[in-house]
Amino acid sequence: MQIFFRTLLAICLGHLLTDFLFQTPHLVEQKRRGKLRGYLLHGLTHYLAAIVLTGFFVRGSVLWLRTHFVLLALTLFHLLIDFAKMRLAQRKIMPDATLSNVADQILHFLTIALAAWLLSPGVAFRDFSTLLGGIRDLPARFLTVPVVYVAVMFGGGRLIRYLTRPLAEGIKTHSPERSSEQLQNAGLYIGWLERFLVITALLLQSPASIGLILTAKSIARYPEFKSEHFAEYFLIGTLLSISVAIVGGIILAKVLFGVIRFP
């Protein structure tokens, strides 16, 4: 399995460099307009990054004809996925940029995993079954981690949104230029990230990081504190969010480590 993971990580690194570092806004615009040059340049960059990194991290792989064939096929699938995403967005079938980008990256990862498996001789499907079996045999307390994270991040967000709805409506009345819907949507996404970071900071035994999170959030919203109604809404929502996250962190610390102790 070691050869599989090395190959997987090498190709993933090449993909990330190609999509997020080497792909310029000009190149994205060319692809959006359907220009062949944009796709060819992106595909060439993808193939070269994958072959160089795979050849470097997996000794001797660059000399295998199979490596070049698989990575060329991977590059072709990569371009097809990008082309399909552009067309779906243009036809308003999948206009949500966040959803389309997440789906795009999931498909890319699945094709990368398949390519890594094809380039890993001796790795059979039963090895993956063994790996999955090992994951299923993890102690039950580890199942608490995703349960608490999901409950605190998303369930807690819904609870806070419900509790602060009257305040958001008050802001709408006093500040009609900014609707309560906009405020709640912005707060929803910030709250997800905020509670995730707070729980993680507590698990890493770094409670001081919570202060940095609150400071960064306050600085970003500082100009809006001139409104008394917004200041109240912000303070109550933030304190509720932090409180829910701390409770979740305490629960996880007790379940995983058996003690509740934060230095």
Kindly report, residue by residue over 20-66, the tens digit of the pLDDT. Answer: 899 888 998 998 888 999 999 999 999 999 999 999 998 888 899 99
Predicted confidence at residue 98, as pLDDT, reads 67
Q: Quick one: pLDDT at residue 183? A: 52
Decide if 159 contacts 202 (C-beta within 8 A): no
Tokens 């602060």, residue located: 164
For the chain, residues with pLDDT lower than 50 are 176-177, 179-180
- pLDDT of 238 reads 86
Q: What is the 3-state secondary structure (H, E, C) of 166-210?
A: HHHHHHHHHCCCCCHHHHHHHHHHHHHHHHHHHHHHHHCCCCHHH
pLDDT of residue 2: 79
Domain boundaries, the chain: 2-136, 140-257
What does the pLDDT read at residue 93? 75
User: Which tokens belong to 235?
Assistant: 């303070």
pLDDT at residue 159, as a whole number: 83
